[in-house]
A and B are shown apart, each in its own frame.
Chain A
Amino acid sequence: MLKNYLLTAWKVLLRRKFFTFISLFGITITLSVLLILSTALDNFLYPSGPEKNNHQLLFIEQLTIESRDGQSNWSSEPGYGFLKDNVRDLKLPEKITFFSQATEGSSYINGNKIDSHLRRTDTSYWEILDFNFLNGRTFDQAEFDSGQMVAVINKKTQKNYFSGENPIGKNIIINEQTFSVIGVVEDVFVGETHAYADIWVPYTTFASTQFETELMGGWSALLYHSNPSILPQIQQEYVNQLKNDFVTHDPEQFHKAIGGADTKLERIAREMTNTEDYESNAASMITMWIVLVLCFMLLPSINLINLNISRIMERSSEIGVRKAFGAKTGQLVIQFVVENILITAIGGGLGLLVSWGVLSQIEASGVLPGADVNYNWRVFLYGFGFVFVFGLLSGTYPALKMSRLHPVTALKGGVR
C-alpha cells in the first residue's frame, strides 16, 4: 500500500516539474542553512578534540564580584588568586586544573612576525584534556614546580616556526621569552575554547608573580569527575563555597562572588544570555534557539503551504472524481502527506549534500583553524528532525483543507 502511495507521489512530482523544482529549491536552501548551523553547534557542544570528554567537565570561566555597598560590580573571568583560594580545595572533583586564557604571543623569524596564542597551564590540565601528541610529551610536575622554560606547540606552529622539521629540543622565542620545545600536538579547533592555543607553557614561567594574588581576570578552571552524574553535586559545592565560604582579601570592594561551574551548554547559555547568577539560564537559551529556528522555517513553510494549496486547487477536479468514485478522505490525505514527505525528504537529501559541500569548503578555506566540521549520526538525526518538522509545518494545513473539499464543488473546480 505504501509502495503504491509512494509511486503515485513520485509520478505526481515528475508531472509537475516546475512546482517540484520550486518546492525542492526552498526546502533544500532552508535545510542546508539549518544543517550547517546545527553541524557547527554540534561540533561546539560535542567536540572531537581534547575537550571530547566535556561531559565529565565543569567550566569556571565567568565571575561577578560585588562591593559591600552594592554600588559597584565587576564581571570577567576569575583571577588566579580567586581560584587558588576558592576552587583549589573543593572536595568532590577528582581533578582540578587552572590555566590562563589564551593570550597573543609574538615570535619573529627571518624578518617575519608569527602571531600565536599562548596559554599557561598546570600539569593536571594535560591529564584532564585529551591532547593528541604527535611528538614528544608534556611537562612533568618537577619541570612545572621549578619553572622550567619548556613549551608544547601545535602542528601549525611547527610548520610556521620550524618549517615542519622536528622541533623537539629546539628553542622558540615568544614575547621575548625563550622556551625549549618538548612536545607537538595536533591543531585544536578554536571552538574548544579551553584547549585551544598554539603554544602551551607552565604558568610558573610567568615573568611576574603578581598574578598569584589577583581576584579577577585572565584565568579559568576545569573541574573533572569521571562520573558525569556527580557533576551536579560539584556545581552545588562550588555555589555553596561562593555563598558561604567566599575567601577574599579585600572584603570592602570584593564582598560577594556570584558565578557557577557550568557544563558546556550552560557556559554558552551564560554567555549568550548575559547571565550573572549562580544558575546559567540554559533553559531560556534553548527556548530562544527553538523559537529562532521555527521563525526561520516559517517563511519557507508558508511558501510551501501556498504552493501545496495551489497544487490541490489545480487538482481539485481530480480529487472530486476520486471522491465521487468512493475514495475515502483519509486515503486522499495520506496520499497528499506522502507526496509532501517525499518531496521534503528529497529536499532534505539535497540539503545534506549542499551543506556537506559548504562545510568542506569552509574546512578547506581555513577560516576556522583546526575545525573538523563533519557530519556524524547526530547531525543526520537533526536533519531528519528538521525534515519532519518542516513536512509537518507545510503539509498539515493543505491536507486539512483538501479533506474538507466537497466532491461536488471539487468537481466543478470552483473553490474559494
Chain B
Amino acid sequence: MLSHIAKLIWNRKRSNLLIITEVAITFGVLFAVIYLGIYNYKVFNTPLGFEWKNTWNIRIDTGGRWNNETDKVQLKAIAEVLRTRPEIKSADVIMMPLFVNGRWRSVETINGHRAPYKANMLNHEAPKNLGVELVSGRWFGPQDDGQNYQGVMVNQRFVDEFLDSVEPVGFEFSDPGQPEAKPKRIVGIFKDFRQQGEFSTPGPYMFFRYNWEQGDSFGLRNIMLKFDKPQPASYEKDLHQTLKQIAPSWEFNIQSFKNLRQQRINEIVIPMTVMAVVVAFLLIMVAMGLFGVLWQNINRRIQEIGLRRAIGASENSIRLQIIGELIVLAIFGMAAASIFIIQVPLLNLIEAVTWGNFVVSMLLSISAMLLIVIICALYPSHSATKLSPAVALHYE
C-alpha cells in the first residue's frame, strides 16, 4: 500500500510540488524554533557555577583610560574600606562583570589543540566568595607570587576539550607569540563559571589572578559585594556616598546581580517570545492552508474514491490512504528540508549545534509536523467517505 501511495504522489509530483515546498519551508522554520527552544532550555538549566544572590556589582568609570600606578591604589583602598563593613561578607574585583554581554576571548595552541576560551581576571579570594566549586588541585593565591610560572585556573570544560590526554593539574603552556612571558600553569580546576549568564553558551573558561599590588594595565572596573542579607535602596545611597568620598573623581554605578540577571534574561526571552508568537501564527496559517488544499484535492478525487470503493476498498482503507498520502507528502517535504538542515552539523556551520540536540529536535519537529498534517487530514478523509460509492462514481 505504501509503495502504491508513493507511486501516486510521484506521478502527481507537479501538482504536489507546491505542497511539498510548503511543508519543506514550514519544517525548516519548525526545526529552527524547536532547536532554539531545546538549546536554550538546556543551556538555561546548566548550572552557572556561581552564586549571585545578595550580591551587588559596582561598576567604576574612571573618566578615562586606566592609569595603573594611581588607579590600582585607589581600587585597593576602596575594597579595603568596604571589607571593614560588618554587613559586607566579601568585596572582590573582577575584570569582566557578571550577566553582561561583554566577554574576554582568547585563542592559544594548547596541548596541540587550537584552543579558544573565555577568560577573566579576579582576585584570588573571589571565586571562593562567589561559591565557585573547586574540582581538583587548589585555588591560586599568594603562594604563586614570585614563581617561574603564572598560576591560572580553568574550568572542567577546558580540561574536557583541550587536556584530554594529560594530567591537567600542574600542566604548563606558553604563548609562542610572547616568548618573554612566564608560562601559565594550571594550579586548580573549578567546575564552571558562566559569566555571561544562563543563556550563554557553556565553554572553556580561564581565571587569571589579580594581584592587588601589581594591578593590571587594562584595569579592573568592577567590585562585587556579597551581603549577608538583602539591602534596601537607602543602603545603596549610603554606599554611593562612601565611594565618592574615597574616590571623588570616579563615577560609580551600583546594580544588584538580581536585576542584572533579570535584564539579561529579558534580553533573550522577549525576542524569543515574539518570534514564537509569529511562528505559531505562521504554523496555524500553514495548517489551515494544507487543510484547505487537501479538502479541495479530495473533492476533485471523489470519483476516484468511488471507484476504489467499488472495487473493494473499505471506508477505513480510504481514510488511511488519504492520511497516508499526506504523510508521504510530508515526508517528501521534510526530507527535502533535511538535506539543507543536516548541512549545519555536518559542516559545523554553527558552533553551538551539537548532534545530540540536533537529533532530539529533528525527532520533535518530525512528530510536530506529522501531527499537524494528520490533524489537517482528519476531516477531509472523513468527508471523503461520506458519499456512498454509487453517488461518488457519478459525482461531477
Which of B22, B62, B291 touches A299 (beta carbons < 8 Å)? Answer: B22
Check B25 against A299 for contact (C-beta < 8 Å). Answer: yes
Contact status of A298 and B293, CB under 8 A, knowing A26-B285, A176-B241, A207-B249: no
Check B241 against A208 for contact (C-beta < 8 Å). Answer: no
Chain B residues near A106 (CB, 8 Å)?
236, 240, 253-254
Check A306 against B19 for contact (C-beta < 8 Å). Answer: yes
Which of A175, A214, A298, A311 touches B25 (beta carbons < 8 Å)? Answer: A298
Check B251 against A33 for contact (C-beta < 8 Å). Answer: no
Which of A19, A30, A210 touches B62 (beta carbons < 8 Å)? Answer: A210
A103 on the B face (CB < 8 A)? yes
Check B63 against A303 for contact (C-beta < 8 Å). Answer: no
CA distance A29 to B281 in the complex (A): 7
Interface residues of A in 393-416 (CB under 8 A from B): 413, 416
Which of A206, A209, A303, A413 touches B286 (beta carbons < 8 Å)? Answer: A303
Chain A residues near B115 (CB, 8 Å)?
none
Chain A residues near B278 (CB, 8 Å)?
33
Check B15 against A416 for contact (C-beta < 8 Å). Answer: yes
Check B244 against A176 for contact (C-beta < 8 Å). Answer: yes
CA distance A271 to B317 in the complex (A): 59
Which one of B122-130, B198-206, B294-302 is at the interface? B294-302
> Chain B 143-177, CB within 8 Å of chain A: the 1/0 string?
00000000000000000000000000000000000
Interface residues of A in 308-326 (CB under 8 A from B): 309-311, 313-314, 317
B312 on the A face (CB < 8 A)? no
State the majority secondary structure of interface residues on B: helix
Task: Give the residue name and chain of the B residue nearest to A29 (CB).
Answer: B281
A305 on the B face (CB < 8 A)? yes
> Chain A 111-123, CB within 8 Å of chain B: the 1/0 string?
1110000000000
CA distance A18 to B396 in the complex (A): 21
Chain B residues near A25 (CB, 8 Å)?
284-285, 288
B248 on the A face (CB < 8 A)? yes
A300 on the B face (CB < 8 A)? yes
Chain B residues near A30 (CB, 8 Å)?
285
Task: Give the residue name and chain of the B residue nearest to A107 (CB).
Answer: B237
Which of A113, A214, A299, A317 touches B396 (beta carbons < 8 Å)? Answer: A317
CA distance A106 to B255 in the complex (A): 10
Which of A206, A306, A313 touches B18 (beta carbons < 8 Å)? Answer: A306
Interface residues of B in 218-239 (CB under 8 A from A): 232-234, 236-237
B12 on the A face (CB < 8 A)? yes
Check A18 against B289 for contact (C-beta < 8 Å). Answer: no
Check B299 against A314 for contact (C-beta < 8 Å). Answer: yes
A360 on the B face (CB < 8 A)? no
Check A302 against B12 for contact (C-beta < 8 Å). Answer: no
B29 on the A face (CB < 8 A)? yes
Check A108 against B25 for contact (C-beta < 8 Å). Answer: no
CA distance A103 to B220 in the complex (A): 18
Check B63 against A206 for contact (C-beta < 8 Å). Answer: yes
CB of A396, distance to nearest CB on chain B (Å): 13
Chain B residues near A113 (CB, 8 Å)?
233, 236-237
Interface residues of A in 18-40 (CB under 8 A from B): 18-19, 22, 25-26, 29-30, 33
> Chain A 53-76, CB within 8 Å of chain B: the 1/0 string?
000000000000000000000000
A227 on the B face (CB < 8 A)? no
Check A314 against B251 for contact (C-beta < 8 Å). Answer: no
Check B25 against A313 for contact (C-beta < 8 Å). Answer: no
Which of B15, B64, B254 touches A214 (beta carbons < 8 Å)? Answer: B64
B332 on the A face (CB < 8 A)? no
Which of A104, A307, A317, A416 touches B289 (beta carbons < 8 Å)? Answer: A307
A213 on the B face (CB < 8 A)? yes
Task: Give the residue name and chain of the B residue nearest to A312 (CB).
Answer: B296
Task: Give the residue name and chain of the A residue nearest to B19 (CB).
Answer: A306
Check A302 against B288 for contact (C-beta < 8 Å). Answer: no
Chain A residues near B19 (CB, 8 Å)?
306
Contact status of A207 and B63, CB under 8 A, knowing A22-B288, A299-B286, A313-B300: yes
CB of A184, distance to nearest CB on chain B (Å): 24
CB of A346, distance to nearest CB on chain B (Å): 16
Check B293 against A306 for contact (C-beta < 8 Å). Answer: yes
Check B65 against A214 for contact (C-beta < 8 Å). Answer: yes
> Chain A 193-227, CB within 8 Å of chain B: the 1/0 string?
00000000000001111110110000000000000
> Chain B 294-315, CB within 8 Å of chain A: the 1/0 string?
0011011000000000000000
Check A306 against B233 for contact (C-beta < 8 Å). Answer: no
Contact status of A303 and B285, CB under 8 A, knowing A108-B236, A111-B233, A207-B63: yes
Chain A residues near B251 (CB, 8 Å)?
103, 175, 207
CB of B304, distance to nearest CB on chain A (Å): 11
Chain A residues near B300 (CB, 8 Å)?
313-314, 413
Contact status of A108 and B253, CB under 8 A, knowing A299-B29, A416-B12: no
Which of B22, B63, B286, B289 touches A210 (beta carbons < 8 Å)? Answer: B63
Chain A residues near B21 (CB, 8 Å)?
302
Contact status of A416 and B62, CB under 8 A, knowing A26-B285, A108-B233, A299-B286: no
> Chain A 172-200, CB within 8 Å of chain B: the 1/0 string?
00011000000000000000000000000
CA distance A211 to B62 in the complex (A): 9
Chain B residues near A175 (CB, 8 Å)?
240, 244, 251-253
Interface residues of B in 59-88 (CB under 8 A from A): 61-65, 67
B292 on the A face (CB < 8 A)? yes
Q: Which of A211, A310, A313, A416 neighbours the largest number of chain B CB atoms within 10 Å of its CB?
A: A310
CA distance A310 to B16 in the complex (A): 11
CB of B282, distance to nearest CB on chain A (Å): 6
CA distance A106 to B237 in the complex (A): 9
B381 on the A face (CB < 8 A)? no
CB of A309, distance to nearest CB on chain B (Å): 7
Chain B residues near A26 (CB, 8 Å)?
285, 288-289
CB of B326, distance to nearest CB on chain A (Å): 13
Which of B25, B65, B285, B292 touches A310 (beta carbons < 8 Å)? Answer: B292
Task: Give the residue name and chain of the A residue nearest to B233 (CB).
Answer: A113
Check B64 against A208 for contact (C-beta < 8 Å). Answer: yes
Check B240 against A210 for contact (C-beta < 8 Å). Answer: no
Contact status of A299 and B282, CB under 8 A, knowing A108-B234, A112-B233, A213-B64: yes
CB of B243, distance to nearest CB on chain A (Å): 8
Which of B240, B285, B290 touches A108 (beta carbons < 8 Å)? Answer: B240
CA distance A112 to B135 in the complex (A): 42
Which residues in A have some Cβ–Cβ distance to B below 8 Å?
18-19, 22, 25-26, 29-30, 33, 103-104, 106, 108, 111-113, 175-176, 206-211, 213-214, 298-300, 302-307, 309-311, 313-314, 317, 413, 416
Sample 21 A-B pairs with CB under 8 A, ordered by A number.
A26-B285, A33-B278, A103-B61, A104-B253, A108-B237, A108-B240, A113-B233, A113-B237, A207-B248, A211-B64, A299-B22, A299-B282, A299-B285, A302-B21, A303-B22, A303-B289, A306-B289, A307-B292, A310-B292, A314-B300, A413-B396
User: Which 3 pairs, one residue from A and one from B, show the smallest C-beta to C-beta distance?
Assistant: A210-B64, A310-B296, A208-B63
Q: A210-B249, A314-B300 are in contact. List 10 more A-B contacts (CB 8 A).
A: A108-B240, A176-B240, A176-B241, A207-B251, A210-B67, A299-B282, A299-B286, A302-B25, A306-B293, A313-B296
